[in-house]
Amino acid sequence: MTMTPSDRAERELKNLEAVAGNGLLHRRAFLRGGAALAGAMTGYTLVPSASGQQLADDAWSLVPGVTVPDYGTRSRFEKNVVRTLSNPKGEPRTQHARTPHHLLNGTFTPNGLHFVISHAGDPDIDPDKHRLVIHGLVKQPLVFTLDALARYPMVSRMAFVECGGNSAPLFSLEPIQASVQALHGLVSCAEWTGVPLSTLLDEAGIDPKAKWIVVEGGDPPHVSRSVPLAKAMDDAMIALYQNGERIMPGNGYPMRLLLPGWEGNMNTKWVRRIQLTEGPGMTFYEARTYAPVLPGGKAYRFYFIQEVKSFITHPSPGLALKGPGFYEISGIAYSGTGRIAKVMVSADGGKSWAQAALQQPVLNKAFTRFRVPWRWDGGPAVLQSRAWDEAGYEQPTRAQLVAARGETTRVPAVTGFPSQHYNAVTSWSIERGGEVKHVYA
Amino acid sequence: MTMTPSDRAERELKNLEAVAGNGLLHRRAFLRGGAALAGAMTGYTLVPSASGQQLADDAWSLVPGVTVPDYGTRSRFEKNVVRTLSNPKGEPRTQHARTPHHLLNGTFTPNGLHFVISHAGDPDIDPDKHRLVIHGLVKQPLVFTLDALARYPMVSRMAFVECGGNSAPLFSLEPIQASVQALHGLVSCAEWTGVPLSTLLDEAGIDPKAKWIVVEGGDPPHVSRSVPLAKAMDDAMIALYQNGERIMPGNGYPMRLLLPGWEGNMNTKWVRRIQLTEGPGMTFYEARTYAPVLPGGKAYRFYFIQEVKSFITHPSPGLALKGPGFYEISGIAYSGTGRIAKVMVSADGGKSWAQAALQQPVLNKAFTRFRVPWRWDGGPAVLQSRAWDEAGYEQPTRAQLVAARGETTRVPAVTGFPSQHYNAVTSWSIERGGEVKHVYA
C-alpha cells in the first residue's frame, strides 16, 4: 500500500518531537536514516512531477558553454556575494572589508572574501625583494628571502583570524539593525601553511634575556605589535600560503605572522622584522586601540586571546524565512583557547536550549560549523547560540559582558568607549512575516 | 660562551643522522625543539645581518597601497600560477584545465585552480531557473529548486575529486618529460557543503526494486553516469558550496553530485536529473571511456574507486634545487577507500625508505600532505613516494601496475590503450645541477 504524501508527513512529524521550545528538533533527527524528514517538507518546498522522462532542455544546454579559463572565476550570478567596504575609494584612512557570512557555508572562508583591515591600502610587494629580518636579543641576526624560507620544514593548519574590534556594534545601548556581515564580518578562517616561527628563532639563537618579540609589517605605517616569546615559540607561524595558494595581498602577501587564536592585529601582515626584546614595545596600536578601557576607568594593558564565541548565520538579517516549516539553523563557533566543545541553540530567547550538531572534525582555534533542525510555526521566535570551549569557558550573555565591560550610546569608536573583544551572545528575532531582526534578549 | 655558527652547524648535523639512503632524515627531526635544524642551513640560505635596527624602507611602504577590493584577487606577481589548458580557444571538443600542484601547498586546492574537464565549456546556468528532478523507481517524483534545497539539513566534508584519466601519461613506454601539473593535474581537493543525497531519495520514497541511479548533467552533452544505489545512500551529496562559496562554474554551478573517492566523471556536474533504475544505464561515457581494456582483451565493466595514490610535488620538474643542503620533500596522498595510513619516501629509487610525517588531521577520502626532511649532498638521487590506506591497500609500483594493466608506446588516447586509473609510484630523478626529471625507476 502506498502512503500519500500527507499520510507520510503526519507520520514523520510524530517522529520529530521538539527538544526545546519553539520547535527546535534533535540534532540527529535527520540521521535516523534520513527518513524522519521524508514528506514533512513536501508542502513547503517541493513540486511533485511525473515528467522526469520528458525533461526539457534548458537554454544553457543548447549552446556551447563558456571557455574554461586558466584561473577560475565565479558565476556572473554570484557577483553580489562580496565584502562590504568601509572606505571603497581608498581615502587616507583605515579600510575595512567584511566577510559575508550569511552568503557562505562550510567551515572556512574563500580567499576572495577573507576579511581585511588595512591602514594604508594593500602594499604592492615584490616577493623577490621582500626580506624578513630577525634581530635584537639573538646570537646572530638573520635575513630571510622567500626562497630561503621555502626550504624550511612547513606545517599547515586551519585557523581563524579575528579583529579585536569585530562585533563592536553590539556594545551599543540599542541593537543596531544590520546584517551578520556588518556586525560580525571581521573574522574569517583559512588554512595557513608556512614555517614555524620557533624554527627561525632557534636558527637565530635566542638570548636567555629575551622575553618578547616586537613584530613590524612592511605596509606604509609599519604596523607593529609586541608578542610574548612563549607564544612565538608555541604555535606561531610565518605563513606563506592561504587556502593552498600564496597569501592574498590584503592578508599579508608574501608572508604574515600567524598567532592562532590571538587578536587579529597581532598577526602582523607583510611581516618584515622581528626584534627579540626584554619587554613589550609599547607600540602605537597596542597603546591606543588595543588597551580596552573598563567602566571603572582602568584598562586592559593587553588582551591577547579572542575568547569563545558563536553566532547564527542562517537565518540572519537579510535572509528572510519563506513561510512556516522546516529550516536548518546554522552558524559559526570558535575559540582562541582551543576546540569548541559544545554549542547550544535557543529559539525562545534563551528560555530553553537544544544542543547543536558540530561539523567534524572540530579543529583547534578554527571555525566549527554548528547546525540544528528547526520547525518554524510562523510565530515570533528569538534565535540565539551559545558556545563552550574545551577549556571550559562559556560564551557570556550580553548582560554579563556589558556589566563587566560597559556599553555605549553611540557606535563605538576607537577609544574611550568599549569597542574591543565583544564575544557575547547575538540574538535574531523572527518576525511574523519571516523577516529577521537584530535584538537584545 | 657563544658558539659560532659553524660550531653549531657541526653539532646539530650530528643530531641529524639519515634514516634512509641518500640523506633522508627522520620525519620528526625538526620537532626536537626546532633546534636540530639550527645552524645547519646557515651556509646555504641565510644572510647574517646586524643592521636590523636601521632597516631601510622598501619602495612599496613609501606610497599608498592598493585599495582593498570587494572580492580579493591575487598579487600581480602570482599571475603565472594558473591551470594549463588543453583547449584554450574553446574549440568544439573536450577542455582540460590542470591544477599546478608544484606551485601550491597545504591540503586542498583553491577554487580558481581546481581542475576542470568540460565536454562543451562551462554552461552559463541561471540558478533560479535550474531544477533537480528525482524520478524513476520512486513513490513520488520530485522537482527541487535551489531555494528548496537550501532549507534541508546540510553537511560539509573535504573530498578529493580525480579524473579516471589522471596520470595517464605514466602508462607510456618511456617516461614523458613533463611537470607534476601535466602528469597529475587532474585531481584536486576541496571542502564541499550540501545536502546528503540519501535525504532527498528518502523524500521521494525509494521503490525496493531500485538498485541504481542514472545521473544526468545540465551541460550540452548531458553527461550521464550510473551509480549503485548503495553509494548514493552512503556518502553521496548534492553539493552547493565549494570551499565556503558557491560552486565554481567549471565544477558544477549551481549544484553537483559528489561521490567521495569515486571516479571524477561520476561526480556529475550541473546535475539536473537522477533516475532510480533496476540496472545501470550503459551511458555513452561509461560504455566508452570508463571501461578500461586489459592486456588480455577483457575490460573492466566499471571501475569506481580512485585507489590509493601519492606523488611528490616539492621538488618536482620545474622546481630545480638550488645547491646542496636541506630541503623539505613534500607531496600529496589520497585514497578513495578511506584515510591515508602511511606514506614512505625514498631518495634512492626505492632501495630504502623513510616514513613521512602526515599533516593532521588525516581526513577520509581527502588530500593528506606528507613531508620529510632531506639533506641533498649534490649527487644523483631518485625520489619516490608510496602510500598505504587504512583498509591496507598499498600503492603499486609502476612495474606491478603495467604488468596487470599494460602500457602503450604512445600517449594514451581515449580507448584501446590503457588510459585510466593509473595510481602507481612516480619517480623524480635529481640531476647533478639540481634539475628534476621524470624517470621510471
Which residues of A are less than 8 Å from B140 in CB distance?
5, 48
In Å, how far are A412, B150, B180, B249 from B311, measured between CA atoms? 52, 38, 8, 28
For residue B389, the model assigns a pLDDT of 98
In Å, how far are A183, A264, B207, B234, B333 from B229, measured between CA atoms? 44, 47, 11, 9, 28
Q: Which of B233, B228, B235 is nearest to B157 (CA)?
A: B235
Within a domain: A18: no
**In B91-186, which ranges are E strands?**
95-98, 116-118, 132-136, 142-144, 155-162
A343 and A215: one domain? no
Q: Domain ends where: A288, A319, A353?
A: A288
For residue B292, the model assigns a pLDDT of 75
Which residues of B are less than 8 Å from A190 in CB distance?
none
B148 to A68: CB separation less than 8 angstroms, yes or no: no
Within a domain: A59: no
Within a domain: A43: no
H/E/C letters for each residue in chain A? CCCCHHHHHHHHHHCCCEEEHHHEECCCHHHCCCHHHCCCCHHHHCEECCCHHHCCCCHHHCCCCECCCCCCCCCHHHCCCCCEECCCCCCCCCEEEECCHHHCCCCCCCHHHCCEEECCCECCCCCCCCCEEEEECECCCEEECHHHHHCCCCEEEEEEEECCCCCHHHHECCCCCCCHHHHHCCEEEEEEEEEEHHHHHHHHCECCCCCEEEEEECCCCCCEEEEEHHHHHHCCEEEEEECCEECCHHHCCCCEEECCCECHHHCCCCEEEEEEECCCCCCHHHHHCCCCECCCCCECCCCCECCCEEEEEECCCCCCCCCCEEEEEEEEEECCCCCEEEEEEECECCCCCEECEECCCCCCCCCEEEEEEEEECCCCEEEEEEEEECCCCECCCHHHHHHHHCCECCCCCCCCCCCCCCCCCCEEEECCCCCEEEECC
A161 and A277: one domain? yes
Nearest chain B Cα distance for residue A352, angstroms: 22
Which residues of B are less than 8 Å from A110 in CB distance?
110-111, 243-245
Could you tell me if A77 and B126 are in contact, meaning their C-beta atoms sit under 8 angstroms apart?
Answer: yes
Count of structural domains, chain A: 3
A327 and A433: one domain? yes
B134, B245, B272, B370: best mutation site toward chain A, by most A Cβ within 10 Å?
B245
Which residues of A are less than 8 Å from B2 in CB distance?
139
For residue B301, the model assigns a pLDDT of 86
A272 and A334: one domain? no
A110 and A139: one domain? no
A235 and A367: one domain? no
A350 and A372: one domain? yes
Nearest chain A Cα distance for residue B19, angstroms: 17
A280 and A317: one domain? no
A94 and A138: one domain? no
Domain span at residue A95?
Answer: 84-118
CATH of the domain at A214: 3.90.420.10
Within a domain: A142: yes
Within a domain: A238: yes
Give the model confidence (pLDDT) of A164-192 as tens digits.
999 999 999 999 999 999 999 999 999 99
Q: Which of B42, B6, B33 is nearest to A204 (CA)?
A: B42
DSSP structure class, residue B135: E
A357 and A220: one domain? no
At B441 the three-state DSSP class reads coil
A99 and A146: one domain? no
Please give the Cα distance from A220 to A21 (Å, whole number): 53
Interface A–B counts its CB contacts (< 8 A) at 434
Within a domain: A351: yes
Q: Domain ends where: A258, A288, A318?
A: A288
A353 and A220: one domain? no
Q: What is the pLDDT along chain B (441 residues), one digit of tens a residue?
A: 344 545 554 445 545 678 899 899 888 776 544 455 655 564 445 555 555 556 789 999 999 999 999 999 999 999 999 999 999 999 999 999 999 999 999 999 999 999 999 999 999 999 999 999 999 999 999 999 999 999 999 999 999 999 999 999 999 999 999 999 999 999 999 999 999 999 999 989 999 999 999 999 999 999 999 999 999 999 999 999 999 999 999 999 999 999 999 999 999 999 999 999 999 999 988 887 787 777 777 888 898 999 999 999 999 999 999 899 999 999 999 999 999 999 999 999 999 999 999 999 999 999 999 999 999 999 999 999 999 999 999 999 999 999 988 888 655 544 456 788 999 999 999 998 999 999 999
Among chain A residues, the shortest Cα distance to B135 is held by A52
- Give A72 or A295, the one with higher predicted confidence: A72
Within a domain: A55: no
Within a domain: A49: no
CATH of the domain at A390: 2.60.40.650
Which residues of B are less than 8 Å from A74 in CB distance?
111, 245-246, 248-249
Nearest chain B Cα distance for residue A198, angstroms: 6
- What are residue B308's phi and psi, to 5 degrees? -55, 135
Nearest chain A Cα distance for residue B176, angstroms: 23
For residue A364, the model assigns a pLDDT of 98
